[in-house]
Structure 1
Amino acid sequence: MRSDPPFPNDIPTHPLLVIDYELVKNGDKTELERLWTAGTTLGFWYLKNHGVNEEEVDGMFDVGAETVALPLEEKMKYEQGDDGLSFGYKAAGANVVDAAGTKDNTQFINIATDDALAWPDTARRTYPSSVNARMASTIAPFVEKSLAVNDTLIDAFNEKLGLPRGALLNLHPRHEFSGSATRITYSPPRLDHDVRTAISAHTDFGSMTFLHNRLGGLQVLVPGAEEWQYVKPIPGHAICNIGDAMVIFSGGILRSNIHRVVNPPGAQGSFDRYSLVYFTRPADTVILRALRDDSDLIAEAVAQSSESQKFDTGVTALEWLTRRVKNRRAANQKARVIPTQKGEGEAWLKSGGTEHTTRAL
């Protein structure tokens, strides 16, 4: 494992609850209540004892490094493109990070869960040689473990929401295509003249996110706060957060909080930054709507909401994901056909999730 400089002691951070995955998996009532608190307040928490060890994370980081090291011409054969496809390679500068159209400086590879589970067959698309060489030995085992973790967390919220047994997991079946994916992101060392945000302010697209990183950079905008705060990486702990789909399914009871990635603070900013994330998303054909017919708690939450219409989106999980991915692409930032007072472009406005605000943009 690479030796990285420590996170600076003089940087303000936002504390997160530490949730013990083993206790959650074993049905510990106290830990389930703490998970519920995390999910209904900020929607972010640390997760320990999750079963993905440092060597497995290192192996996935190696996949990212080997992909980044490929010639650009080779990587571009597997680029996501501008039509909203979420799987494949994303080149630096292919996305924008703000309404002004500032291009990002990150590269990443998104590997569809459908492809990892189908290997050596192709389910969704093909990938660079760096991915193919490690699909069976490194990527598929990570996907299996991550699926188990996220499924356990999703199911834990199911009972607290008053839903029938298995209702949420039934919206995430393994045998149907989905946007679920593993992403390895590379951000280059900070340069004095380069102050770009690596990944723009956003809420996550899907249901549950399982993140591993060793350098700082992740920031959250806490409800009611005016300033972004770092989330400090803790060795051996993953960071989990809830995505848009769970907010909608729960009628707004669960939170999908705005976050972004910036340069690591202090001496960490001089190092290559890799992050590894697993996204669980609903099946492509699932309609994103509040499950009010299955839960009195959810029905009451929707009835009391001043924005109840946002819980009946009328779109599928695939359509939601495609819209958000497509409208972050730099090539799709067209002339500002519908400008606001601040001049945000139409495509940028269409890329928002459940909790996007002008402040976050």
Structure 2
Amino acid sequence: MLNVAKDDVMAWPKQVYQDYPQPATDKMDDILKPFVQKTVEVNHVLLDALSVKLGLPKDALSRRHRLDARSTCGVRCIKTPPEPEGWSEEKALFAAHSDYGSITFLHNRLGGMQVLAPGTNQWQYVKPLPGHAILNVGDSLNLLSGGLLRSNLHRVVPPPGQQFSHERWTVGYFMRPENDVPLNALVDESPLIAEAVAKTPERNFHTGETAREWSIRRFNNIRATNYKGKENWKASGGTENYKAVREAVDAGAGARVSVNA
């Protein structure tokens, strides 16, 4: 797995955070930078459309995710080898998680991603389609929208059928709010969001943290080594404490959380 921070990509050849191996540095200008720019452009179209639907000013979400502003956004490339010995349900549960960013933009040709549909304990495969990307709404958008946008619980298991014997490659972009953005429901900018928050007093949409502070806390709390059971998982903080997700964990849908969020 290779992770490259968006800020390092856009500042190249200057270094913002860290060094990277040669395969990444050799492709910063002709592959990684155009990939980041185009992905952010597409995501802004989506964010603008969502803003309108949420009763927000059109740019309310996209201006909190600017390309040139510091954030914890990043590119990830994952190579997953075949699973010749198969997999167990318990093993798959280790990877159940909700993403803590805003939008996860994924490209892959093989199946393997599964989502937990609301109100069920049954995992369902997400089928990759040619010419399409897979998008996940993350916990940050869930918070900003006052819960109107759902961050789904998902996991990755070996591909089904004949795909099982092939390597699985995934390239993704994890879009997260700018570091200084307060991670709270935008109740002052949308009557719809204000109404949604008022109707769910049991849920906390005011984190009191910036996006960077919240992301760091989430990252530290979801390290795989920290998890020994469902109670630890539910105690990790963030929107994974919401009732629907907690009930899914109680039902056995996700006893552990992986670090790949």
TM-score when normalising by structure 1: 0.64
Name 1:307's counterpart in structure 2.
202
Name 1:215's counterpart in structure 2.
110
Name 1:166's counterpart in structure 2.
59
Candidates 312, 316, 321, aligned match of 2:210: 316
Candidates 42, 64, 86, aligned match of 1:149: 42
Q: 1:326 to 1:223 in 2, by over 3 A?
A: same
Candidates 187, 211, 236, aligned match of 1:350: 236
Distance in 2, matches of 1:253 and 1:157, equals 10
**Superposed CA offset, 1:254-298 (max 9, x none):** 111111101111221111111111111101121210000111111
Amino acid in structure 1 at the alignment position of 2:116: L
**Superposed CA offset, 1:52-83 (max 9, x none):** xxxxxxxxxxxxxxxxxxxxxxxxxxxxxxxx
Amino acid in structure 2 at the alignment position of 1:137: D
Name 1:16's counterpart in structure 2.
none
Amino acid in structure 2 at the alignment position of 1:320: W
Q: Is the 8 A contact 1:326 1:351 kept in 2?
A: no
Q: Is the 8 A contact 1:248 1:288 kept in 2?
A: yes
Amino acid in structure 1 at the alignment position of 2:113: L
The structure number with the bigger radius of gyration is 1
Q: Is the 8 A contact 1:324 1:353 kept in 2?
A: no
Q: Count residues in correspondence.
A: 245
Distance in 2, matches of 1:217 and 1:352, equals 26
Structure 2: gaps spanning 5 or more residues:
255-261
RMSD over equivalenced CA pairs, Å: 2.0
Does structure 1 residue 235 correspond to structure 2 residue 130?
yes
Distance in 2, matches of 1:161 and 1:331, equals 38
Amino acid in structure 1 at the alignment position of 2:213: E
Distance in 2, matches of 1:194 and 1:348, equals 25
Candidates 327, 335, 342, aligned match of 2:221: 327
Distance in 2, matches of 1:348 and 1:134, equals 40
Q: Mean alpha-carbon deviation: is it higher for 229-238 or for 169-178?
A: 169-178
Distance in 2, matches of 1:123 and 1:318, equals 16
Q: 1:224 to 1:332 in 2, by over 3 A?
A: closer
Amino acid in structure 2 at the alignment position of 1:239: I
Shift of 1:348: 7.0
Distance in 1, matches of 2:24 and 2:54, equals 38
Name 1:191's counterpart in structure 2.
84
Shift of 1:203: 1.3
Kindly report which structure 2 residues correspond to 1:1-361, keeping only aligned pairs within 5 A, or say none: 108-192=1-85, 194-195=87-88, 196-197=91-92, 200-308=95-203, 310-333=204-227, 343-344=229-230, 346=232, 349-350=235-236, 353-354=239-240, 355=242, 356-357=245-246, 358=249, 359=251, 360-361=253-254
Task: Describe the SS at the equivalent of 1:116.
Answer: helix
Amino acid in structure 2 at the alignment position of 1:264: P
Amino acid in structure 2 at the alignment position of 1:249: L
Q: Is the 8 A contact 2:87 2:158 kept in 1?
A: no
